[in-house]
Structure 1
Amino acid sequence: MSTSIEDKVKIASNFLLSSPPGEVNDVFNDVRSLVDNDEALQDGILQALEQYNTEQLITVTLPELDYEVIVSNHGKVEEERYVDPRSKQSFKFDHMRLVLYNNSISIKKIWKMIIKLKELQPHEAHASIEPLREAIEKKAFAYVNDHYPEGVCTVYAPTENQIAIAIVDNKYNPGNFWNGRWLATWTLDTQTGELKGATKINVHYYEDGNVQLNADKNYETKVTVTDDFTKTVATVLKEVADFDKRYHSSINNSYGDLAENTFKGLRRALPLTRNKMDWNKILNYKIGNELSQK
Structure 2
Amino acid sequence: MSTSIEDKVKIASNFLLSSPPGEVNDVFNDVRTLVDNDEALQDGILQALEQYNTEKLITVTLPELDYEVIVSSHGRVSEERYVDPRSKQSFKFDHMRLVASELQPHEGHASIEPLREAIEKEALTYVQDHYPEGVCTIYAPTENQIAIAIVDNKYNPSNYWNGRWLSTWTLDTQTGELKGATKVNVHYYEDGNVQLNADKSHETKVTITEVNSFSDTAKVAATALKEIATFDKRYHSSINNSYGDLAENTFKGLRRALPLTRNKLDWNKILNYKIGNELSQK
Fold similarity call, TM over 0.5: yes
Partner of 1:278: 266
1:27 aligns with 2:32: no
Question: Among residues 216, 234, 253, which one is paired with 1:246 in the alignment?
Answer: 234
Unaligned stretches of 5+ residues in structure 1: 99-113
1:62 aligns with 2:45: no
Partner of 2:161: 178
One-letter amino acid of the counterpart of residue 67, structure 1: Y
Partner of 2:192: 209
Contact 2:21–2:164 (8 Å) recurs in 1: yes
1:73 aligns with 2:94: no
Partner of 1:89: 89
Contact 2:60–2:69 (8 Å) recurs in 1: yes
With the length of structure 1 as denominator, give the TM-score of the two structures. Answer: 0.90
One-letter amino acid of the counterpart of residue 244, structure 1: D
Q: What is the distance in 2 between the residues matched to 1:83 and 1:280?
A: 65
One-letter amino acid of the counterpart of residue 36, structure 1: D
Question: Among residues 172, 179, 201, which one is paired with 1:196 in the alignment?
Answer: 179
Partner of 1:9: 9
One-letter amino acid of the counterpart of residue 255, structure 1: Y
Partner of 1:39: 39
Question: Among residues 127, 132, 135, which one is paired with 1:152 in the alignment?
Answer: 135
Contact 2:13–2:48 (8 Å) recurs in 1: yes
Count of paired positions? 274
1:127 aligns with 2:110: yes
Identical positions, percent = 89
With the length of structure 2 as denominator, give the TM-score of the two structures. Answer: 0.94
Question: What RMSD over aligned residues (CA atoms) do the two structures have, in Å?
Answer: 1.4
Deviation at 1:208, TM superposition (A): 0.5
CA offset digits 1:120-154 (Å, max 9, x no partner)? 10001110000000000000000001111110010
Q: What is the distance in 1 between the residues matched to 2:269 and 2:69?
A: 58
The 4+ residue runs of structure 1 with deviation greater than 4 A are: 287-290
Deviation at 1:287, TM superposition (A): 9.6
Deviation at 1:286, TM superposition (A): 3.7
Partner of 1:101: none
One-letter amino acid of the counterpart of residue 272, structure 2: N
Deviation at 1:97, TM superposition (A): 2.4
CA offset digits 1:203-248 (Å, max 9, x no partner)? 0000010000000000011111121112211210111011001100
Unaligned stretches of 5+ residues in structure 2: none
